[in-house]
Amino acid sequence: MIMAVLALGGAYLVIRDLPTTEELTVQAGSPSFIASDGAPILQEGRYVGAEVALADLPPHVVQAALAIEDRNFYHHVGVNPLSIVRALVVNLREGDIRQGGSTITQQLAKNLFLSRDRTIIRKLQEAFLAIRLERRFTKDELLALYLNRAYFGGGAYGIAAAADRYFDKAPTELSVGEAAILAGLLQAPTRYAPNAHPEIAGERAREVLVAMVDAGFLDYFAAEEIASRPIRLRRDPLFAAPYFLDAARRETRDLFGDDRQMPVDAIVRTTLSASAQKALVDGVDAGISLARLPGDVEVAAVLIDGAGAVRAMIGGRDYAASQFNRAVDARRQPGSAFKPFVFLAALEAGASPYDVVSDTPVGVAGWRPSNYGDKFHGDVSLTEALAVSANAATIRVQETIGRPVVRAAARRMGVSSPLSDGPALALGVDVMTPLELAAAYAPFANGGYRVKPYFVERIADPLGRTVERREASYYDRAAEPWAIERMKGMLRAVVTEGTGRAAAIPGVDVGGKTGTSQESRDAWFVGYARGYVLAVWTGRDDNTPMQDITGGGAAAVLWREAMGRVLASDVEPAAAVTPALMSARIVPINEGGPSVAPVAPRRKRSAPR
């Protein structure tokens, strides 16, 4: 009776703090973020890869892990009694935990649920959990989960992160030698790290190859030949996109809200393109140098595709110095970058790109805006007025068709920020973010559909099961195809013969618009090419003037250098409009009819290009 009580008491000590296997998919946890192509994104020291199906891995990758860690994996029930007895004998002889005798399933149980304490109680808990895991999941599911969760050193969690971290490869591309190095890391990631201890890592890899031969996975002579080949390690920095990552984290939290739990250690596949992000960073750096941008002038840039997916982002010049994401949160005046919405409204009202408008001094209820440099152009076509960013001509166009019509066009295109009622509306006096303005230009790139920008494509649990998916954020038509095509011709003229010449990319059809707010407090270039939209903003955080920095100068140079590199990179093709949306109609906006009602006088404004 006493022995039974003691046994029950011991069992209680083992299981009282034991988590359930159900917690694997329902417990809240910190998600890991990956790029759209599966490339892990470095985040605060953790480098977590995408889940990889066992069937997608080369056989030698799986065999290397089995040979060195648990070659009887497919023949035990979660624990291996012989290994446990052997380890127990060693530990009793040494008087401490020297050998584990753990199966892969036990290691998985420890990684998922338990602490790193090396105690007898924890080893018993590990065994109990391993048996329960074996009853719930198939062997292949357990092995895939193990390889996708194991720590390989260097901040890399999972086989995908490890392959990228050490070899700059996808896990499907690993050679036998590389697989042996990674399998060797499973026992002691720090000790066998190839970048820190290449000789020790090489010796450990040879042990793995010998184990593969003993297990019948590899021929002896093949192993000798593999062991003689040098293994090249990755030398370039790990992939990081801190501003994008912050925005993706925010969207992930919003997707789940307060009433839903995220799976423990969920994998969040984002819209980020690793190649586009690198190209954007390199291009902006080159543009800053070419434009000789002062050190106190900040930069933001955001690249989206025609479906609204954010493919790359820069929220400032130095994340370590300032984590404020100017691409998402900075609300600044777009200046003349707002003008395309004025001219789009005019085209929809029946105007032609070739209609003539007077660019001479104009006044509205005592307010008399001037052109940049006080230069007027006389009679010009609508295309010329947009190309040279003629303020007076633009005001005349707006006052003819009515400000509510302009506001309605901007709303349909995707501008969500409050818009003023006065005549200065046409000159971009209302503040908005670079991301918002990029999204409002997306209809010019995708054939006329309004989009909502997004950062997260899919959220999965550690087994790869989808728990949340975000499709392309197309809304209804923003403008009819004929109006979009005419506007594209006008925006092309901005680059070929107007204020945006510095944004031209040889051999590429580029359309866009410069924008500079009063006293050069903000300088923009927003444009599109091959289905992508890129918005570039420069300015000072304290909103002080930048003297001679304009949208047609520094911003256009940064745009050209960045977009040119993005298009030259291996960025995935831009999303196309889905056929189901082809019949979508324009959504009416309750802005009222045309109006040219007088407004209160404002001080004279010199709105640049």
Query: Is the pLDDT reported for residue 40 higher than 90?
Result: no
- What is the pLDDT averaged over residues 157-186? 91
- Single out the catalytic residue among 51, 69, 399, 591: 69
**C-beta of residue 102 within 8 angstroms of C-beta of residue 116:** no
pLDDT at residue 191, rounded to an integer:
87
**C-beta of residue 609 within 8 angstroms of C-beta of residue 550:** yes
Any idea which residue has 């005549």 for tokens? 423
- The two three-digit tokens of residue 65, written as one number: 């892990």
**C-beta of residue 513 within 8 angstroms of C-beta of residue 437:** no
Dihedrals φ, ψ of 526, to 5°?
-120, 125
3-class secondary-structure state, position 34: strand
pLDDT at residue 481, rounded to an integer:
94
Determine whether 336 is an active site residue: yes
Q: 545 burial class (0-12, 13-18, 19+ CB within 10 angstroms)?
A: middle
Any idea which residue has 């304290």 for tokens? 542
**C-beta of residue 552 within 8 angstroms of C-beta of residue 502:** yes
**C-beta of residue 494 within 8 angstroms of C-beta of residue 387:** yes
User: At 113, is the pLDDT very low, low, confident or very high (cuts 50, 70, 90)?
Assistant: low
Type and span of the H or E element at 100:
none
**C-beta of residue 450 within 8 angstroms of C-beta of residue 477:** yes
pLDDT at residue 294, rounded to an integer:
93
Any idea which residue has 């003037």 for tokens? 545
3-class secondary-structure state, position 268: strand
Euclidean distance between CA atoms 508 and 506, whole angstroms: 6
The better pLDDT of the pair 579, 356 is held by: 356
The better pLDDT of the pair 253, 564 is held by: 564
- What is the pLDDT averaged over residues 541-560? 93
Q: Pairing mode, if any, of strands 298-305 and 356-359? A: unpaired
506: number of Cβ within 10 Å: 7
Domains of the chain: residue spans and CATH: 32-227 (1.10.3810.10), 275-581 (3.40.710.10)
Query: Is the pLDDT reported for residue 456 higher than 90?
Result: yes
Instruction: Count Cβ neighbours within 10 Å for each residue of 272-308 and write b for 16 or more, e otherwise.
Output: bbbbbbbbbbebbbbbbeebebeeebbbbbbbbbbbb
Q: Which residues are within 8 A (CB) of 494 and not within 5 positions of it... i.e. 6 or more apart?
A: 386, 387, 389, 500, 511, 512, 513, 514
82-96, 213-227, 261-275, 595-609: least confident range: 595-609
pLDDT at residue 571, rounded to an integer:
67
Query: Is the pLDDT reported for residue 370 higher than 80?
Result: no
**Using one digit for the tens of pLDDT, what is the confidence trace for 231-264?**
888 876 667 898 999 999 999 888 877 667 777 7
Q: For all residues of the chain together, what is the average pLDDT?
A: 82
pLDDT at residue 74, rounded to an integer:
85
The better pLDDT of the pair 40, 392 is held by: 392
Euclidean distance between CA atoms 572 and 532, whole angstroms: 11
Q: Pairing mode, if any, of strands 466-469 and 474-477? A: unpaired
Partners of residue 537 on adjacent β-strands: 300, 524
pLDDT at residue 278, rounded to an integer:
93
User: At 117, is the pLDDT very low, low, confident or very high (cuts 50, 70, 90)?
Assistant: very low
- Single out the catalytic residue among 36, 102, 336, 389: 336
pLDDT at residue 379, rounded to an integer:
93
Euclidean distance between CA atoms 177 and 170, whole angstroms: 15
Query: Is the pLDDT reported for residue 437 higher than 60?
Result: yes
Euclidean distance between CA atoms 467 and 459, whole angstroms: 6
Partners of residue 523 on adjacent β-strands: 516, 538
The better pLDDT of the pair 465, 179 is held by: 179
Longest alpha-carbon distance in the chain: 107
- What is the pLDDT averaged over residues 479-502? 96
pTM of the model: 0.74
* Structure letter (DSSP) for residue 63: H
